[in-house]
Amino acid sequence: MAGLLSRALDRFSPERVETGEPQPDGSPDGAPAECRLIADVPERSIVSIHGVLTSVAERPIGGGTALQAELDDGSDCVTLVWLGRRQLGGVLPGRSLTAHGRLGCNDGVKVLYNPRYELDA
């Protein structure tokens, strides 16, 4: 609990400078402390990643529909796929979010299927 509180307080600390560079803990700037850079995450790892949605579109997958979004954190991109969904409230291009799930790879493209996510304010 103390770790969670200290991270929350640190996040709002005036000493933290928004540079776009990874923080000393390895998380991208402006991201929760548990987040890692997409480029640093090995395949099949359970991850928390933070970035900006560069595109969001409905795509046919295996006879069904899926919502597909590209998340970019400045180090690399990952494709977020929500199977059986046509849209998700607030999931729009240009929006920042944190995604949680197991990182996979499909034809050389990093993918998170049905990730949990949190939208930034």
Domain boundaries along the sequence of the chain: 2-119
Q: How many CB atoms lie within 10 A of CB 36?
A: 21
Reading the block at residue 60, the tokens are 């046919």
- Confidence class for position 46, pLDDT limits 50, 70, 90: very high
Backbone angles phi, psi at 71, to 5 degrees: -110, 125
User: What is 2-119's CATH superfamily?
Assistant: Nucleic acid-binding proteins (2.40.50.140)
**Tokens 């923080």 label which residue?**
23
55 pLDDT exceeds 90?
Answer: yes
How many C-beta neighbours within 10 Å does residue 81 have? 20
**pTM of this structure:** 0.74
- Closest Cα partner for 98 from 118, 114, 69, 81? 118
Residues comprising the chain, all counted: 121
Confidence tier at 29 by pLDDT (50, 70, 90): low
